[in-house]
Amino acid sequence: MPDGSPPPNLTLRSPKTLATAGLIAEVDIPMIEAVAARYAIAIPPALAALITAPNDPIGRQFIPHADELITALHESTDPIADEALSPVLGLVHRYPDRALLKPLLACPVYCRFCFRREQIGPDGGLLTQAQLGATYEYLRAHPGIREVILTGGDPLILSPRRLGDILANLSSIPHIEVLRIHTRVPVADPSLVTEDLASALDITTPLFIAVHINHAAELTAAACAALNLLQRRAIPILGQSVLLAGVNDTEALLADLFRAMLRARIKPYYLHQLDAAPGTARFYVSPERGRALMAALRGKISGTALPVYVFEQPGGAGKLPL
pLDDT of residue 6: 55
* CATH fold of the domain at 83-321: TIM Barrel (3.20.20)
86-95, 119-128, 304-313: the lowest-pLDDT one: 119-128
Q: Quick check: 76 and 275 in contact, CB under 8 A?
A: no
pLDDT tens-digit series, residues 208-238: 999 999 999 999 999 999 999 999 999 999 9
As a whole number, mean pLDDT of residues 166-175 equals 98
User: What proportion of the chain, given as a percentage, has pLDDT over 90?
Assistant: 86
pLDDT of residue 2: 46
As a whole number, mean pLDDT of residues 267-296 equals 97
Residue 77 backbone dihedrals phi, psi, to 5 degrees: -70, -15
Confidence of residue 4 (pLDDT cuts 50, 70, 90): low
pLDDT tens-digit series, residues 140-154: 999 999 999 999 899
Going 130 to 136 to 142 to 144, the CA torsion angle's sign is positive
Kindly report the average pLDDT of the chain as a whole number: 94
7-21, 39-53, 58-72, 157-171: the lowest-pLDDT one: 7-21
pLDDT tens-digit series, residues 104-131: 999 999 999 999 998 888 887 899 999 9
Q: Quick check: 205 and 231 in contact, CB under 8 A?
A: no
**Beta strand spans in 204-250 (E):** 207-212, 237-242
96-110, 157-171, 233-247, 304-318: the lowest-pLDDT one: 304-318
Q: Quick check: 177 and 147 in contact, CB under 8 A?
A: yes
Say what angle helices 160-171 and 129-140 make with each other, to 10 degrees.
20
Residue 1 has pLDDT above 80, yes or no: no
- What helix, strand, coil percent values describe the chain, rounded to 5? 35, 15, 45
> Distances in Å between the alpha carbon of 80 and those of 17, 213, 219, 282, 309?
33, 21, 28, 19, 17
Residue 37 CA to residue 15 CA, distance in Å, equals: 10
Which of 266, 321, 311, 296 lies closest to 115 in space, CA to CA?
311
In the chain, where are the structural domains located?
15-67, 83-321
Residues 6+ positions from 118 with CB-CB distance below 8 Å: 77, 78, 277, 278
